[in-house]
Structure 1
């Protein structure tokens, strides 16, 4: 994950959050789950910092979006309590795995602070900058 790509994603995500009238935290990680870029919009609650990071970690460590991870991590899922591994993960939407057009994982983005649907939408807008 290049810093220039991460900055473009942050800008797109922040613009979409502002358009929606929400304040969020946005975390972008590389393929090894190390931080590349992060912002906390003015007014975003402190608690969502960790949630945005965990959404991004979940996506990159398991090569699946955090909303998909939720399908296996819920109480009747095949991997209930899996979110307690790897220093803590999360099993709800807003974390997207980022891949090249060839399918190589290059990192992830996690968005938190709005409703889950808005977090997911903001993350998708940001991820789309990689295709531009």
Structure 2
């Protein structure tokens, strides 16, 4: 019987590079965002807030990262998951920290989930674009 497992996580340098990459994309888009990066367990690894970014978007960004890390699913994909099942949608929306709005992406390296990135402050499309730019800046998937 095995007693231990080996788990990989996002390195702090990659987490910070991802946050910076997301902010640089936001600057190019002319928007102000909050961006959070967490490890696979949902533990915060990096956070950046642009001056003037919406205050409520701080926790939304954190929760988007947490949701993406926890499920290994883009937060934009939840609409497809629940489909027309209103009971499922209502039930999931009551779960603390579960966000079903675009802008949260799982972070993977070599096919293994190592964290999540969450962006909030723009439209769902802009948030997701910033998140993808953050992943690209760190050479992550």
Partner residue of 1:83 out of 82, 86, 93: 93
Instruction: Kindly indicate whether the alpha-carbon contact (under 8 Å) linking 2:20 and 2:48 is maintained by their aligned counterparts in 1.
Output: no
1:36-55 mapped onto 2 (5 Å cutoff)? 36-55=45-64
Instruction: Kindly indicate whether the alpha-carbon contact (under 8 Å) linking 1:72 and 1:78 is maintained by their aligned counterparts in 2.
Output: no
Structure 2 Cα separation of the partners of residues 89 and 30 of structure 1: 16
**What CA RMSD, in Å, does the superposition of the two structures yield over aligned residues?**
1.7
Partner residue of 1:92 out of 87, 91, 101: 101
Distance 1:77 1:105, change over 3 A: farther
Instruction: Kindly indicate whether the alpha-carbon contact (under 8 Å) linking 1:22 and 1:114 is maintained by their aligned counterparts in 2.
Output: yes
Report the count of equivalent residues. Answer: 130
2:139 paired residue number? 131
Instruction: Kindly indicate whether the alpha-carbon contact (under 8 Å) linking 1:29 and 1:107 is maintained by their aligned counterparts in 2.
Output: yes
**Cα offset for 1:32?**
0.4
TM-score (structure 1 length as normaliser): 0.90
Partner residue of 1:22 out of 2, 8, 31: 31
TM-score (structure 2 length as normaliser): 0.85
**Cα offset for 1:5?**
0.4
Task: Map Cα deviations across residues 90-119 of structure 1 (whole Å, 9 max, x no partner).
Answer: 101000001112x21100000000011100
Structure 1 stretches (4+) deviating beyond 4 angstroms?
none
Q: Is 1:60 aligned to 2:69, yes or no?
A: yes
Structure 1 Cα separation of the partners of residues 135 and 61 of structure 2: 15
